[in-house]
Amino acid sequence: MRRDFLKGTAALGALAVLGARWPAQAAEAITMWHIFGAETEPGLKNIKRWNETQAQQIDQKFVPFGQLSQQLIKGIATGDVPDLITIDNPVVASFATQDALEELSDLVRASRVIKADQYYAGSWGTTLWNGKQYAVPGEANTLALYYNADMFKAKGLDPDKPPRTWAELHHAAEVLTDKDKGVFGTAFCALQSEEGTFQFLPFLQQSGASLKTLTSPDAVAALQLWTDFVAKGLASRDVLVKRQFEMTSSWLAGGSAMVISGPWELQRMKDVKFNWRVATLPHREGKDIEASALGGYVWGVPKGARNKEAAFKVIEFMSEPAQMQQSWSGGRLAPVTTLQVESPVMPEAYATFRKQMEVARPRGPHPRWPDISAAMQTAIQEALTGRSPPDAALKKASLVINPILERTPIAGL
């Protein structure tokens, strides 16, 4: 028995020695943390391209999206930050005001690749705070209306004339809902997370309201639209717990006739067995305001990064047209207006999303965006679960959001 004990200790000792001698990384490598999980991600391809042609290599680490905030915070807390990181665009202001990102204004001004006027105004806006540049847009995405043309035809609706107004949307949803077959007319995401806010804001904005006017009848009308969808059984109750892609999964399986989602879903459309189309979001009748959501990651250089200039060179590389052209293969749009993908796959979808990008509005930017978003999520869920009528739910949210906006306004709001 004692001999086994000694053997075990020796084995442990050996492990310890092995562990401590694991090869350290080359000092010059540019460390990058990113969210590109699948091997088919265009981002990974671009990293490979850089590594093939450049002397200073990128040492990349995949961080699951849900872990990104946590890992970056851990990095900041321990002073062990990567040189380059992909950040979700609405939290840039939070990180910037808490001194967690390097300021890139001078580098951008001097850059020959990155030109402010080439980018969508909304995308560019998310990377600024107080007139200073803290990030560079990496990709862009937005929301549009996917619909099942076959179902439209089957119910006597014209698939070439998708709903253009909320009234038409509501009508189409009513016609397309088929309780016996278990088909919902429409679908969207009202999860208690950033995705819920992401989906709802375009409706709020199209109604002519904003985060500052949550108690206005226009705002209430927007939330009422969603509430009616769920209350009347035109959309599944599970919109409250499912993510956007899960709602699209339902749509792909024939569980709903329409779904509001983004271009990232297009990769899944290859094997779709029905006739599908994408249209820009319907707008509120009488208001004629076109608005959609603006998503996508941005490139940031954490404060204290050891290779700031090299990291910026990588950002420039990623922002070159040759690299940005790759995005569409992964269902992502380049954040620049000047780029047109030559013969893209799914050209109609590409055209629709590009058109929608023109009216995409950023969330914030605001350093306390997470708090604002949390208040919105609660309001949406309270209304959709029937806990509160939409006006009361929005009033409650405004009590949280108004003081935040008074202290620090959102530019242009």
Q: How far apart are CA 22 and CA 24, in angstroms?
A: 6
Considering beta carbons, is residue 303 or 361 the nearer one to another protein? Answer: 303
Q: Least distance in Å: CB of 70 to another protein?
A: 5
> Cβ distance 61 to 30 under 8 Å?
no
Q: Assess 65 for contact with another protein (CB under 8 A).
A: yes
Report the half-sphere exposure of 362 (CA within 13 A, side-chain side): 29
Strand partners, 120: none
Chosen residue from 95, 120, 200, 226 binding another protein by CB under 8 A: 95
Give one DSSP letter per residue of 273-316, joined into a string: -S-EEEEPPPB-TTT----EE-B-EEEE-BTT-TTHHHHHHHHH
Q: Assess 61 for contact with another protein (CB under 8 A).
A: yes
Write out the two tokens for 97.
């005001």
Q: Report in angstroms the alpha-carbon separations of 106 from 135, 167, 303.
A: 12, 49, 15
H or E element, residue 360: strand 360-361
Q: Assess 387 for contact with another protein (CB under 8 A).
A: yes
Q: Least distance in Å: CB of 37 to another protein?
A: 4
CB crowding 115-154: b at 16 or more within 10 Å, else e = eeebbbebbbbbbbbeeebbbbbbbbbbbbbbbbbebbee
One-letter amino acid of 131: G
Considering beta carbons, is residue 18 or 27 the nearer one to another protein? Answer: 18
Residues in 140-179 that interact with another protein by CB under 8 A: 141
Residues in 259-278 that interact with another protein by CB under 8 A: 262, 264-265, 267-268, 271-273
Considering beta carbons, is residue 59 or 358 the nearer one to another protein? Answer: 59
Q: Assess 257 for contact with another protein (CB under 8 A).
A: no
Residues in 295-334 that interact with another protein by CB under 8 A: 295, 297
Q: Least distance in Å: CB of 115 to another protein?
A: 27
Pick from 230, 236, 243: nearest CA to 386: 230
> Cβ distance 104 to 131 under 8 Å?
no
Q: Assess 378 for contact with another protein (CB under 8 A).
A: yes
Q: Least distance in Å: CB of 182 to another protein?
A: 5
Chosen residue from 237, 287, 355, 395 binding another protein by CB under 8 A: 237
Q: What is the C-alpha end-to-end distance of the chain, expressed in Å? A: 75
For residue 119, report the phi and psi dihedrals to the nearest 5 degrees.
-90, 155
Residues in 174-203 that interact with another protein by CB under 8 A: 182, 184, 191-193
Give the per-residue contact string, 339-358, with another protein (x = CB under 8 A; - = no). --------------------
Q: How many residues bind another protein (CB under 8 A)?
A: 86
Q: Assess 11 for contact with another protein (CB under 8 A).
A: yes
Q: How far apart are CA 200 and CA 128, in angstroms?
A: 24
Considering beta carbons, is residue 232 or 387 the nearer one to another protein? Answer: 387
> Cβ distance 223 to 393 under 8 Å?
yes
Considering beta carbons, is residue 20 or 110 the nearer one to another protein? Answer: 20
Q: Least distance in Å: CB of 233 to another protein?
A: 10
Pick from 146, 48, 182: nearest CA to 348: 146
Considering beta carbons, is residue 75 or 208 the nearer one to another protein? Answer: 75
Residues in 15-54 that interact with another protein by CB under 8 A: 15-16, 18-20, 22, 25, 31, 35, 37-40
Q: Least distance in Å: CB of 274 to another protein?
A: 10
Considering beta carbons, is residue 161 or 387 the nearer one to another protein? Answer: 387
Q: Least distance in Å: CB of 286 to another protein?
A: 32
Q: Assess 228 for contact with another protein (CB under 8 A).
A: no
